[in-house]
Structure 1
Amino acid sequence: MSVQDEPHLKPRPPFLLPWVLVLGFILLSALFFIPVPKELRNAVGGAILNTGHIIFFCMFALAFYPFTKGKNRTRLPRFLLIVFALSLLVETIQSSVGRAFQWEDILRNELGAILGISIQMHFQRPHKAHWALRISLLVAISAAILVERVPLYEKLVSLYNLG
């Protein structure tokens, strides 16, 4: 059997990689449950911490979305449902440890996950039919995040009298 006759196999990530990712995200998720430092208990600090939700779940999606199975039309809603359930669990636990339950944080988590998925999809093997969809998804979710983060910009401008 020649090399051309061998079936094309997709390279699999090392077995240890998913477990390292899970452990890393469990350790990072502990940041959601520690009390907010006094220095960050103001409008600007809160807005900066809220951006952390987007960044964390963007990294979460970049790390774990490739391990999901199926076509994007089924795995995307399934992954976002998992992110929603995980976010709901985190917010519920937060409310029992002295931090507030915020629906806005769940929205930020979903926005971060969609951003991570759109980045992941953008760098997949190019396919002409899906190029416009991937670019439009990346632009749309980036615009949504920018709109959601406008209060942070306004608070920074008012704090530093920039404009």
Structure 2
Amino acid sequence: MNVQEEPLIKPRTTLSLILVCVLVFFVLSALFFIPVPKELQNKVGGAVLNTGHIIFFSLFALTFYPFTKGRNRTRLPRFLFIVFMLSLLIETIQSTVGRTFQWEDIMRNELGAILGISIQMHFQGPHKAHWLLRIGLLITIVTAILVERMPLIEKIITLAANN
């Protein structure tokens, strides 16, 4: 007798989750095009806002990377190229609305996308052969993000020590 196992996440729930992620993505994407408030134009505020690039593009990758076709070997560079082009477009449009074009933001967007992809790959399946690769990628990208965000951590520590 074959007993059919029920999937952990039902297709209808998955579709609802994807639609919510897409909606949140588009609502948050508007934040790239509004001027930065005066309160956040100091060094700490700017550093916190720059962290938003990493978070946003992590969510972007978690939402849209599963829809790319092909093997990871080909779809990963293709997806990162799409993120690069999208980042370039965002930065170009930002320069027309009173914000500055920053290559560092494009790098943060790529770091965020790689983080999202590595999280996606980590939870993709129980393939033991790729377990070490997935953990290595996740540790490497988290380390790169921590190194890139170290000035923010130093500013927060300095700010806390002065108060």
TM-score, length-normalised on structure 1?
0.87
Q: Contact between 2:122 and 2:134, CA under 8 Å: does it hold in 1?
A: yes
Counterpart of 1:144 in structure 2: which amino acid? A
What is the match of residue 32 of structure 2?
32
Matched, 1:121 2:142: no
Q: Distance in 1 between matches of 2:43 and 2:16?
A: 41
Q: Residue 157 of structure 1: CA displacement?
A: 1.3
- In structure 1, runs of 5+ residues without a counterpart are 5-10
Q: What residue number does 1:112 align with?
A: 112
Deviation per CA, 1:33-84, whole angstroms, max 9, x where unpaired? 1111111110000000000000000011011111111110011011101100
CA drift at 1:28: 1.1
Shift in Å, 1:150: 0.2
For 1:62-112, what per-residue CA distance to the aligned partner results, in whole angstroms no more than 9, with x for missing partners?
111111111100110111011000000000000010000000000000000
Would the aligned equivalents of 2:65 and 2:79 in 1 still touch at CA under 8 Å? Answer: yes
- Partner amino acid for 1:148? E
Change (3 A) 1:99 1:135: same
Q: Distance in 1 between matches of 2:77 and 2:36?
A: 32
Code of the residue aligned with 1:157 in structure 2: it is: I
SS in 2 for 1:96: coil
Percent of counterpart pairs with the same letter?
72
Q: CA RMSD, aligned part only?
A: 2.0
**What amino acid does structure 1 have at the position aligned with 2:79?**
F
- Work out the number of aligned pairs and report it: 155
